[in-house]
């Protein structure tokens, strides 16, 4: 991001984007490639997913530690940034609310504040705080209409100095979204399982019957 400021960011042609492709849908164990060349390896060894490492796929150097703790704040540690010190995740990604009530996570950079937000088109998008309609990074994923689209992070050119931080934040937030979505699914399934008055699909059936009248 050193080549532009937050006030200069505008949406660019998709052909001008850098695409970081994931080898599989996991956010815990993955290989991230650029133009077919692996550049990052994401590794989580413990079953609970409490400790994730991001490694340079070429040199095997440890770049980022992500640790989830039970009784203490989650931390993130960058080998070559923030003096290599562990920082609290909640201070590095500050949670808040957008004007429409949706969730946001704000991060500070040397060139300004940037905001991660959930998005109906991009799922997760990173935008300058003063221009939330024009993402500089966003999630790309297969759709029902086109399953050939790879799971990837699309980044504007010029984000190279912050690529490791963008990837780290994306992995943390995408895992968070998946946990929330899984919990909602389980709640819905349990409601159908434990409430004998609820018949799966009955609401849709009733709606169709009303429309036919």
**Cβ of 154: how many Cβ atoms within 10 Å?**
18
In a domain, residue 86? The reply is yes
pLDDT at 6: 39
Q: Is the dihedral of CA 174, 82, 54, 165 positive or negative?
A: positive
- Place 103 in a pLDDT band, splitting at 50, 70 and 90: very high
How open is the CA angle 81-126-184, to the nearest 5 degrees?
Answer: 110
Q: What is the DSSP string of 81-120?
A: SGGG-EEEHHHHSEEEE-TTS-EEEEEEETTEEEEEEEET
CA distance 57 to 19: 16
Query: 46-50, 61-65, 124-128, 162-166: which has the minimum mean pLDDT?
Result: 46-50
Place of tokens 């937000």: 117
User: Which of 126, 181, 192 lies closest to 154, judged by CA?
Assistant: 126
Tell me whether residue 4 is in a domain: no
For residue 7, tell me if it sits in a domain: no
Q: Which helix H or strand E contains 164, and what residues bound it?
A: helix 163-194
Is residue 5 included in any domain, yes or no?
Answer: no
Q: Are 144 and 152 in contact (CB under 8 A)?
A: no
Q: What is the pLDDT of residues 10-27, one digit of tens each?
A: 444 556 789 999 999 999
Give the pLDDT confidence of 28-40 residue by residue, as tens digits.
Answer: 999 999 999 999 9
Domain of 36 in residue numbering reads as 14-212
Q: How confident is the model at residue 208 (pLDDT cuts 50, 70, 90)?
A: very low
Whether 78 has a pLDDT exceeding 90, the answer reads yes
Residue 213: which pLDDT band, with cuts at 50, 70 and 90? very low
pLDDT digits (tens, 9 = 90+) for 136-154: 999 998 888 888 889 999 9
CA–CA dist 181, 184 (Å, integer): 5
To 5 degrees, how large is the angle CA 7–CA 11–CA 13? 145
Q: Is the dihedral of CA 29, 135, 108, 3 positive or negative?
A: positive
Three-class SS state of 159: coil
206 CB-near residues (< 8 Å, 6+ apart)? none
Is residue 163 within 8 A of residue 41, CB to CB? The reply is: no
Nearest-angstrom CA–CA distance, 123 and 177: 9
Residue 132 is assigned to a structural domain of this protein: yes
Is 26 domain-assigned? yes
pLDDT for the residue 198: 52
Structurally, the chain folds into a number of domains equal to 1
Q: What is the pLDDT of residue 53?
A: 98
* Domain CATH code at residue 25: 2.40.160
Q: What is the distance between the alpha carbons of residues 111 and 94, in angstroms, rounded to a whole number? A: 17
Residue 99 has pLDDT above 90, yes or no: yes
Residue 152 has which token pair? Answer: 């990837």
* Full-model pTM: 0.81
Confidence of residue 203 (pLDDT cuts 50, 70, 90): very low
- 10 Å Cβ neighbour count for 104? 18
């Amino acid at each position: 991001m050193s080549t532009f400021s937050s006030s200069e960011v505008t949406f660019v042609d998709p052909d001008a984007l850098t695409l970081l492709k994931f080898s599989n849908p996991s956010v815990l164990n993955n290989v991230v490639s650029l133009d077919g060349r692996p550049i990052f390896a994401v590794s989580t060894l413990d079953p609970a997913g409490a400790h994730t490492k991001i490694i340079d796929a070429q040199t095997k150097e440890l770049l980022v530690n992500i640790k989830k703790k039970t009784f203490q704040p989650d931390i993130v540690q960058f080998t070559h940034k923030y003096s290599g010190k562990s920082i609290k995740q909640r201070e590095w990604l500050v949670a808040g609310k957008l004007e429409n009530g949706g969730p946001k996570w704000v991060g500070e950079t040397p060139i300004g504040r940037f905001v991660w937000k959930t998005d109906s088109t991009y799922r997760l998008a990173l935008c300058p705080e003063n221009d939330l309609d024009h993402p500089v990074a966003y999630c790309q994923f297969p759709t029902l209409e086109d399953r050939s689209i790879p799971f990837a992070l699309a980044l504007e050119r010029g984000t190279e100095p912050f690529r490791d931080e963008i990837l780290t934040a994306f992995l943390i937030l995408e895992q968070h979204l998946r946990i929330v979505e899984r919990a909602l699914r389980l709640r819905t399934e349990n409601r159908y399982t434990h409430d004998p008055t609820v018949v799966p699909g009955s609401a849709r059936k009733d709606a169709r019957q009303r429309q036919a009248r």
